[in-house]
């Protein structure tokens, strides 16, 4: 493989007309998106725009207590409201339906195995502020909320636990029958960490906190459920993410077969970033009422519901890191321990405590590793996925202990990092945790970002004179880069490790590994255009553009001759879908496959039509020609010829297998259910920060980044993903947190309290790319959806450490977000 030199920071952005007329290949160009027109004109239909005639609206009564017994629910006044059609409580739900599937369905206790159930509505006990206890259905949302206000719930409050570390003590237990809050955990050793830590010249230790954050898309969760009495089935329009994978959370709760619950996601979803994977509670409640009332039911979460009790917070971790390091600056061993506060129920993303294994030592060659976690329940809203899926806190904590180790051995932190980087000749590199980095030149990337920083030291933002003058004003500037990996294209088999017998995994054979492919369909239409159908959902990534671009190249036609739509959960097979930095790789592989099949069939059809052998025909530029030059058939002709056939050759589908399945080197990770992520995009950031020691505020003056995601299918979209991820990383590092009082009352329930970065908070981002294709994927592309959110927080934190280095503050960025009050306390403590 070849590594290109850094390209110009400007991506190759084409106008629609240029791209259509001049470009030889659409893939690799910044083709403007086909999604945009409908969005810009206001015509796009998001879930909140779906309002069937005669539909009723749902409002929820939510617990105001973090932990309380529900003594009584008086629904009579609400039921007397003339426009209220129905009230549901847990009693109704339990009578007819099932609990919602959870990530850890049962827990082994001293008394045997206890189920850990979560119901759509809380029954005897409310376990977090915002947990729904009753659902009200009425003519419109305003009235539904009026009626919800008329419901009187009598609570008997209990002591709550709202901190993961405190929860481990089990003084307050969130689920009494289970008897403990720590419902999962594992300690995994790779290599011989015990000896390494004993023999190393130094062992450094640090404790780091990652505050509870989430994606907080601008569009909240929403659903419209319609029950069909005749067929005893449901149509559920909603903005759930991964609707072909997680539809089981809906149909299992309802107690129906998958085929009787048609989950459909609009083409436009107002952002998800992982957070809408677990909105099934709303879908189920709306479906139940629709069946009861035989009318469509609509619900769109309001922002306060979303922030306080929307089942959508993410990682909330306390880390204890240890690193064994020798005098010569060699990182010898790594010991990771953390507790993740999952909130009241262990929902789907329990495996995000494991995903960091896919990048366990980041860009560093370290052979001996301990990885240990505890998953603790508390009286907070449950976790779901968020961009990075638990890798972002790991990389942050790891880079913090690397800073600490550099200090311990008295080495420049960049030089210390460089010495320990995985070298290009070690690629593909197998991590101790058995995942593999596919390709990349990490030292070159670190060198390039260092050059950029050096330029700023010469008359720029980091010029020693400027830095010195700023220090006089109490403003400390600094930057500290590192090379950070983005694991891409998750396999699916490992994701149920916590529901498997972990000891038995050691003897598991490769044949037992079941992977999910990516499904894609294409058909020729009568007018000669092509329709492709995605089996996944999108929330702003531009999948329709991407597929039309790739398919246009494969079929040698124009993107404008291709329309891309979406399949619902019944029409699509169960597959993984759009998450875990998968789509660039999986959709491009599926597109190449489906096009190949369509072309083969087109040739077969034409050969058959002319009565010649398949050698006598050739597909070129949107038509099939006879090799003897006598005739040709356009795509429209072929569709016409095919229309009368029983088995249609112009309608094809293709399942692209996960790219690691064909590579034996991944077998051990597959067998043992360790996270398999066969692409390693990487980058190095240089956020130049300025810390005001008087106020504790951090200003990022400029954010440089050098990134590599292999082949760029659409550089404009690649850069957009990086920009967005970095902006979310800025929010995570400096602004955002779902704080809680000790009694479990949430402190951030509006966007005045949960601070999303505005245009004033996100610095200018200057980006360069290198291109190191992946040897494992069809197009050389690597996953690219999560990188900025994974690497930006760690880079900002190390840069804050660097800025404050002259003040000898003990690990100033040991807590994320690095909020002003935290930094001020650090500065004050250092002064004393």
Which 7-26 positions form the footprint of another protein (CB under 8 A)? 13, 15
Tell me, by CB under 8 A, how many residues bind another protein.
Answer: 73
Contact criterion met (CB below 8 Å) for 718 and 514: no
Nearer to another protein, 175 or 387 (CB): 387
Cα distances (angstroms) measured from residue 399 to each of 215, 321, 407, 438, 726 = 23, 10, 13, 22, 17
What character string, x for contact with another protein (CB under 8 A) and - otherwise, covers 89-128? ---x------------------------------------
Q: Select the residue interacting with another protein from 607, 636, 751, 807 (CB under 8 A).
A: 751
Backbone phi and psi for residue 184, each to the nearest 5 degrees, phi listed first = -160, 155
Nearer to another protein, 627 or 756 (CB): 756
Residue 171 CB coordination number (10 Å):
10
Q: Select the residue interacting with another protein from 179, 191, 443, 720 (CB under 8 A).
A: 720
- Residue 559 CB, shortest distance to another protein, in Å, is 15
- Residue 278 CB, shortest distance to another protein, in Å, is 18
542 contributes a contact to another protein by CB under 8 A: yes
Count Cα neighbours of 131 within 13 Å in the Cβ-side half-sphere. Answer: 31
Contact criterion met (CB below 8 Å) for 738 and 313: yes
Nearer to another protein, 240 or 369 (CB): 240
Which DSSP state fits 649? S
Residue position matching structure tokens 């003084």:
171
157 contributes a contact to another protein by CB under 8 A: no
Nearer to another protein, 243 or 822 (CB): 243
Residue position matching structure tokens 């495996």:
351
What character string, x for contact with another protein (CB under 8 A) and - otherwise, covers 40-59? xxxxxxx-xx-x--------
539 contributes a contact to another protein by CB under 8 A: yes
Residue 215 CB coordination number (10 Å):
22
Separation between Cα atoms, residue 70 and residue 79, nearest integer Å: 19
610 contributes a contact to another protein by CB under 8 A: no
Nearer to another protein, 181 or 581 (CB): 581
302 contributes a contact to another protein by CB under 8 A: yes
Q: Select the residue interacting with another protein from 181, 220, 379, 381 (CB under 8 A).
A: 220
Q: Are strands 651-656 and 632-634 parallel, antiparallel or unpaired?
A: unpaired
- Residue 237 CB, shortest distance to another protein, in Å, is 15
88 contributes a contact to another protein by CB under 8 A: yes
Residue 365 CB coordination number (10 Å):
17
Contact criterion met (CB below 8 Å) for 152 and 121: no
H/E element holding 436?
strand 436-437
Nearer to another protein, 122 or 598 (CB): 122
Separation between Cα atoms, residue 63 and residue 82, nearest integer Å: 25
DSSP output for 114-133: EE--B-SS--SEE-STT-EE
- Residue 48 CB, shortest distance to another protein, in Å, is 6
Nearer to another protein, 56 or 370 (CB): 56
Separation between Cα atoms, residue 262 and residue 258, nearest integer Å: 8
- Residue 29 CB, shortest distance to another protein, in Å, is 12
Q: Select the residue interacting with another protein from 716, 732, 794, 819 (CB under 8 A).
A: 716
Nearer to another protein, 500 or 758 (CB): 758
Q: Select the residue interacting with another protein from 167, 254, 269, 524 (CB under 8 A).
A: 269
Nearer to another protein, 43 or 423 (CB): 43
Cα distances (angstroms) measured from residue 406 to each of 411, 447, 630 = 5, 18, 74
Separation between Cα atoms, residue 566 and residue 587, nearest integer Å: 13
Sites for another protein among residues 200-219 (CB under 8 A): 215-219
Stretch binding another protein (CB under 8 A), from 196-204, 502-510, 610-618, 744-752:
744-752
DSSP output for 211-258: -------SS--EEEEEEETTTTEEEEEE--SSTTTTTHHHHHHHT--G
- Residue 691 CB, shortest distance to another protein, in Å, is 21
Nearer to another protein, 401 or 713 (CB): 713
Sites for another protein among residues 317-376 (CB under 8 A): none
């Amino acid at each position: 493989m070849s590594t290109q030199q850094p390209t110009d920071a400007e991506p190759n952005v084409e106008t629609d007309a240029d791209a259509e007329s001049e470009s030889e290949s659409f893939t690799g160009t910044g083709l403007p998106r086909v999604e945009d027109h409908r969005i810009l004109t206001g015509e796009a239909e998001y879930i909140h725009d779906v309002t069937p005639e005669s539909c009723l609206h749902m409002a929820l009564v939510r617990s105001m207590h973090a932990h309380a017994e529900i003594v009584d629910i008086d629904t009579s006044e609400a039921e007397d409201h003339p426009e209220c059609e129905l009230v549901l409580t847990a009693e109704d739900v339990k009578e007819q339906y099932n609990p919602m599937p959870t990530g850890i369905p049962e827990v082994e206790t001293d008394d045997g195995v206890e189920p850990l159930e979560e119901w759509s509505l809380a029954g005897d006990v409310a376990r977090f502020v915002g947990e729904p206890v009753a659902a009200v259905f009425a003519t419109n949302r305003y009235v539904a909320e009026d009626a919800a206000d008329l419901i009187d719930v009598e609570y008997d409050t209990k002591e709550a636990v709202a901190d993961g570390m405190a929860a481990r003590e089990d003084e307050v237990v969130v689920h009494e029958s289970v008897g403990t809050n720590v419902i999962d955990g594992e300690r995994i050793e790779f290599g011989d960490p015990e000896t390494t830590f004993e023999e190393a010249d130094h062992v450094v230790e640090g404790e780091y906190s990652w505050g509870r954050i989430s994606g907080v898309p601008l569009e909240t969760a929403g659903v419209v459920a319609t029950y069909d009495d005749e067929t005893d089935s449901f149509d559920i329009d909603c903005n759930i993410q991964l609707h072909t994978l997680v539809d089981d959370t809906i149909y299992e709760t309802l107690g129906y077969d998958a085929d009787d619950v048609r989950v459909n996601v609009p083409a436009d979803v107002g952002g998800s970033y992982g957070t809408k994977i677990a909105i099934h509670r709303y879908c189920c409640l709306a479906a139940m009422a629709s069946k009861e009332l035989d009318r469509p039911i609509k619900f769109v979460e309001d922002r306060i519901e979303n922030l306080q009790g929307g089942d959508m917070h993410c990682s909330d971790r306390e880390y204890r890191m240890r690193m064994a390091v020798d005098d010569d600056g060699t990182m010898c061993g790594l010991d990771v321990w953390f507790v993740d506060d999952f909130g009241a129920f262990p929902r789907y993303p329990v495996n995000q405590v494991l995903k960091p294994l896919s990048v366990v030592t980041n860009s560093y060659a370290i052979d001996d590793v301990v990885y240990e976690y505890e998953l603790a329940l508390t009286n907070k809203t449950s976790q779901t996925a968020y961009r990075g899926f638990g890798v972002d806190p790991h990389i942050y904590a790891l880079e913090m202990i690397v800073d600490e180790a550099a200090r311990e051995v008295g080495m420049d932190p960049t030089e210390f990092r460089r010495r320990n980087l995985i070298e290009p000749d070690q690629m593909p590199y197998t991590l101790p945790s058995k995942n593999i980095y596919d390709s990349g030149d990490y030292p070159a990337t670190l060198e390039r970002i260092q050059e950029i920083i050096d330029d700023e030291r010469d008359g720029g933002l980091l010029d020693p004179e400027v830095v010195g003058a700023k220090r006089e004003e109490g403003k400390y500037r600094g930057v500290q880069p590192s090379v950070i990996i983005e694991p891409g294209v998750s396999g699916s088999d490992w994701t149920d490790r916590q529901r498997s017998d972990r000891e038995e995994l050691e003897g598991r054979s490769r044949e037992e590994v079941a992977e999910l492919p990516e499904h894609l369909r294409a058909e020729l239409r009568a007018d000669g255009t092509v329709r492709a159908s995605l089996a996944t959902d999108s929330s702003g990534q531009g999948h329709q553009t991407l597929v039309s671009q790739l398919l246009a190249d494969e079929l040698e036609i124009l993107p404008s001759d291709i329309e891309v739509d979406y399949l619902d959960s019944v029409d699509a097979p169960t597959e993984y879908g759009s998450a875990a930095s998968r789509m660039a790789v999986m959709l491009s592989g599926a597109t190449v496959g489906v096009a190949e099949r369509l072309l083969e069939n087109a040739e077969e059809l034409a050969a058959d039509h002319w009565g010649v052998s398949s050698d006598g025909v050739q597909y070129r530029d949107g038509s099939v020609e006879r090799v003897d030059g006598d005739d040709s058939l356009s795509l429209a002709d072929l569709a016409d010829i095919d229309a009368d056939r029983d088995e249609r050759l112009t309608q094809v589908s293709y399942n692209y297998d996960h790219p690691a399945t064909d590579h034996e080197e991944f077998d051990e990770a597959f067998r043992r259910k360790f996270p398999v992520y066969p692409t390693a995009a990487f980058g190095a950031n240089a956020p130049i920060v300025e810390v005001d020691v008087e106020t504790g505020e951090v200003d990022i003056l400029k954010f440089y980044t050098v990134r590599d995601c292999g082949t760029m299918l659409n550089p404009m979209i690649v850069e957009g993903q990086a920009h967005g991820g970095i902006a979310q990383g800025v929010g995570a590092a400096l602004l955002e947190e779902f704080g809680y009082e000790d009694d479990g009352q949430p402190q951030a329930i509006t966007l005045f309290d949960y601070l999303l970065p505005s245009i004033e908070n996100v610095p200018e981002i200057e980006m360069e790319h290198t291109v190191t294709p992946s040897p494992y994927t069809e197009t050389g592309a690597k996953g690219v959806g999560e990188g900025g959110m994974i690497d930006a927080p760690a880079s900002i934190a190390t840069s804050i450490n660097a800025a404050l280095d002259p003040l000898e503050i003990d690990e100033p960025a040991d807590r994320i977000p690095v909020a002003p009050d935290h930094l001020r306390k650090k500065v004050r403590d250092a002064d004393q």
